[in-house]
Amino acid sequence: AQKVTQAQTEISVVEKEDVTLDCVYETRDTTYYLFWYKQPPSGELVFLIRRNSFDEQNEISGRYSWNFQKSTSSFNFTITASQVVDSAVYFCALRRPNSGYALNFGKGTSLLVTP
Amino acid sequence: DVKVTQSSRYLVKRTGEKVFLECVQDMDHENMFWYRQDPGLGLRLIYFSYDVKMKEKGDIPEGYSVSREKKERFSLILESASTNQTSMYLCASSGTSGSWNPKGRNTGELFFGEGSRLTVL
């Protein structure tokens, strides 16, 4: 069975701190796809990144970086020098097999960045 | 940009009423999805569709049905609303990775609407 676990329910940091959001996944598939989405207070989920299982290279996009480690089944997300605008709920997700690209989501981590 | 539009941001209905939630996408995507989002439970898949008139059950289809008569439109129907269906409903669409849409190449990620917050009294 597929499962995504985000153990951190809520995180609060002060602006400019670095913060890492954890994501652990379970799957029996050898080929799989992982995602991160951001849900700001407005409610619309925004796609951040997709990573496939055969590409373990870490990714950096501005202040955002992702660390994919198959050995520990983790796909962690780090925000460097956090800003108030980063306050949102972040979801990690795993593509379901045979489901038209549907995703299984973790329960999300609510990040609050205070000035 | 991809646009997924949900017809209503907020709805208030009575128990037993029939409720229609409409979703339209402008990207010619084959795949469309309905999720519900509840505090502490995250997003749960209700139904999905990978083609016109095709539908598949997700993890929590009980109490819901769907309709996809046109490629761009995917409707969620609550035949007889109940209070436990009070929730945020999210529609999403995606194109098959590698295929083309009017605005570029599909990469397989889901694009979401703004959500419809339904309260059943």
- Taking only the tens place, the pLDDT of each residue in B49-101 is 999 989 999 999 999 999 999 999 999 999 999 999 999 999 999 987 777 67
**Is the CB of residue A75 less than 8 Å from the CB of residue A34?**
yes
Cα dihedral B5, B7, B9, B13 sign? negative
Window from A56-65, B94-103, B110-119 with minimum mean pLDDT: B94-103
Q: Collect all residues of chain B within an 8 Å Cβ-Cβ radius of residue A102.
A: 31, 33, 45, 48, 58, 110
Q: Does B115 touch chain A (CB under 8 A)?
A: yes
Give the pLDDT confidence of A65-95 residue by residue, as tens digits: 999 999 999 999 999 999 999 999 999 999 9
Q: Is the pLDDT of residue B21 over 70?
A: yes
Q: Could you tell me which residue, A86 or A61, shows the higher pLDDT? A: A86
CB pair distance less than 8 Å for A107 and B41: yes
> Higher-confidence residue: A76 or A59?
A76
Per-residue pLDDT, B1: 67
Inter-chain CB proximity B31 and A100 less than 8 Å: yes
Choose between A7 and B106: higher pLDDT.
A7
Average pLDDT over chain A reads 94
Are the C-beta atoms of A88 and A75 separated by less than 8 Å?
A: no
Inter-chain touch B43–A91, beta carbons under 8 Å: yes
A4: enclosing H helix or E strand:
strand A3-5
